[in-house]
Amino acid sequence: MTADRELSGNSDGDLLRALVNDRLVVLAYGGDVRTTSHLRRLGARDVLKLARKPDGNGEARFVSSSRVGANNCTVAVLNQRAAFALRSRKFFRSFGTILVPLDTSALFGSIGLARYVARRQLKPLGRVRLDGFGAPLIAFRNTGFADRPRHRIFAPSEMTPLHILQAINDLDCVALRWIETIEGGGEMADLDLLTRGCDAEEIERRLSQKAGNFPIDLYTHDGSGKRLFKAVPYYPPLLAGRVLDSAVIRDSGARIPAPLWRYIAYAFHLLFHKSDRLAVGVEQLTSGAFGDERYMRELWRLADEAGQPRPADIDAIETLLHRNEVFPELDTIGFYSSKNPFLAARYLASHTELKPGLGVFIVRDFGFASDTVGDVRSQLESRGFRIIAERGIIRDEEAVSRIRGGNWIDDQAPEKFAPPLHAFVCTDSNPVPPSRGEHRRYPRLDNANMLVKIALRSAYADQAVKRKLNMIHASDNSSEAKLYVEALGLAHEPAVAAAIAEIAAPVPQ
């Protein structure tokens, strides 16, 4: 269908009907009762109107153009200043279809439209007519819709947090925090849920029968479905599994973790998700350590309920996590430490005892029939790496969960899962310091030669006729490589042990 084709919007088979049928539609800063009626006649499942002064009847307040996507709608009509949301993909990435009136609205959105149409990230579909608008609207498909982050979802506004939990308590999903507040009818800014990957779509489906803007952070146990935290699973897979396995349903109908795992999960949350609130070097956990006393009050209360001693310092939380075998690996902490000076200083800065020169490359299983492992071996050797150890990796072994945060989900792979297949432990006798640009993109990288992974990924993407294919995973630095080697059980191989000893940095005096 050409971009300049204009359709009336009144026939059963027209473009507008195809775009809105059985979908949730948001009218941002425009439209009236005629518009809503028209959309419903065309089969829209529900319509949410964002207005400066909402009347409360199917309307919510228009806050700003950057917030037009804060709802569960997948079709957006961006009118007037709402079209300014097109200036950045992060503001409209939650919409699969976008309609913009051909009036001053198009001027508000002109810079973004020009940019993203040129990049083929917005594809013109045609022109339509919609009751309540004097000008026709041009429809666009967001070509990146399938790749959007999906941990933030929204529920109908009329559902209370407790009603939400009751509606999904037959699924393998738990509320992570503040359940007593929820049961007491207290006000909640949002809801945090953890679920098995197989139940995430059903949860979102149940909460998308009507339009709404109550925010929920929905994380999967393994990060599947792009329901991630800082590009890795919210919890290490072992912790997530134990939290879900311990679940109990309370008298209220809410499903939550058992006391011990509720406490451990909350302690993990404070240390690895909330510690950006801590000053670098903090050790003692005072009542106001996280800036809001309710965090420590809750931690101590949960410790009491679990029959555990109250943690007085960071070391006590670390001991708790180590004792229960759920302390994250260094590469996972590397992701958590993004924009978190406390974590970076406490964990990453203290793991720089090795000079550059050790690396681990991991071939992932994307279903290639050719001798991928042999080809990667040849490529690494031809680029100056010396392979000192290698081995195949079995899907269910411990190393799979200890490397890369246990996150091997990939939409480009068969069954959306590309587990590690084979590991190469390498040395590089001529490591190259990363450039300023490389360091910005890979802040933990200590050897630019490790970026050979990018060339290898590109080659396999071309072979598979894909835009990109994350076929090769690699350690970022020697210290991380050492941890990978330990996870793989290769640390005691003579050649590996010798290589580690050789690059061990002298301890500063």
Please check whether residue 196 is in contact with residue 244, taking contact to mean a CB–CB distance below 8 angstroms. yes
Q: Report the predicted TM-score, pTM, of the whole model to 2 decimal places.
A: 0.86
Are 417 and 431 in a shared domain? Answer: yes
Residue 187 domain-assigned (yes or no): yes
Which of the two residues, 206 and 6, has the higher pLDDT score? 206
User: Does 7 or 410 have the greater pLDDT score?
Assistant: 410
Q: Which of 30-34, 286-290, 296-300 has the lowest mean pLDDT?
A: 30-34
Arithmetic mean of pLDDT, 454-464: 85
Return the CATH number at 432. Answer: 3.30.70
Are residues 377 and 484 located together in one domain of the fold?
yes
**Average pLDDT for 429-444:** 92
451: domain range? 358-503
Q: Please report the pLDDT score of residue 4 as a whole number.
A: 42
Domain termination site, one of 121, 145, 169 = 145
For range 251-265, the mean pLDDT? 98
Statement to judge: residues 363 and 340 lie in one domain: no
pLDDT, tens digit, 9 for 90 and up, residues 65-90: 999 999 999 999 999 999 999 999 99
Same domain as 332, residue 371: no
- pLDDT of 410 reads 83
Same domain, 153 and 276: no
Any domain includes 66: yes
Q: 192 with 89, same domain? A: no
Residue 125: the pLDDT is 96
Residues 89 and 161 in one domain: no
Q: Which residue has the tokens 């084979």?
A: 422
242 and 190 belong to one structural domain: yes
Are residues 366 and 307 located together in one domain of the fold?
no
How many residues are present in the chain?
A: 509
Is 221 inside a domain boundary? yes
**CA distance linking residue 454 with residue 252, whole number of Å:** 51
Average pLDDT over residues 137-154: 95
Among the candidates 120, 145, 170, a domain finishes at: 145
Is 438 exposed, middle or buried (CB count within 10 Å of its CB: 0-12, 13-18, 19+)? middle
How many angstroms separate the CA atoms of 113 and 110, rounded?
5
Residues of the chain above pLDDT 90, percent: 79
Together in a domain, 492 and 369: yes
Given 145, 166, 183, the domain boundary residue is: 145
Structure confidence at residue 6 (pLDDT): 42
pLDDT for the residue numbered 45: 98
Q: For 332-382, write each residue's pLDDT tens digit.
A: 998 999 999 999 999 987 666 789 999 999 999 988 877 889 999 999 999
Mean pLDDT of 408-416: 81
* Confidence (pLDDT) at 506: 58
Q: Looking at the domain assignment, is residue 252 inside a domain?
A: yes
pLDDT score for 407: 80
Helix (H) or strand (E) holding 360: strand 358-364
| Sequential DSSP letters for 212-264 | --EEEEEEETT-GGG--BTTB-SS-HHHHHHHHHT-EE-TTS-EE--HHHHHH
Strand partners, 420: 364
- Indicate the average pLDDT of the chain: 92
Residue 238 has pLDDT above 80, yes or no: yes
Tokens in use for 411? 């939409």
Tokens representing residue 87 in the block: 């200036």
Domains identified in the chain, total number: 4
Residues 158 and 125 in one domain: no
Helices (H), 149-232: 161-167, 179-183, 197-206
- pLDDT bucket at 190, cuts 50 / 70 / 90: very high
| Residue 489 covered by a domain | yes
Does residue 509 belong to any structural domain of this protein?
A: no
pLDDT of residue 183: 97
**73/98 Cα distance (integer angstroms):** 11
For residues 140 and 153, membership in a common domain is answered with: no
3-state secondary structure of 48: strand
Give percent of the chain with pLDDT exceeding 70. Answer: 95
Q: What is the mean pLDDT of residues 151-163?
A: 96
Q: Is the pLDDT of residue 7 over 80?
A: no
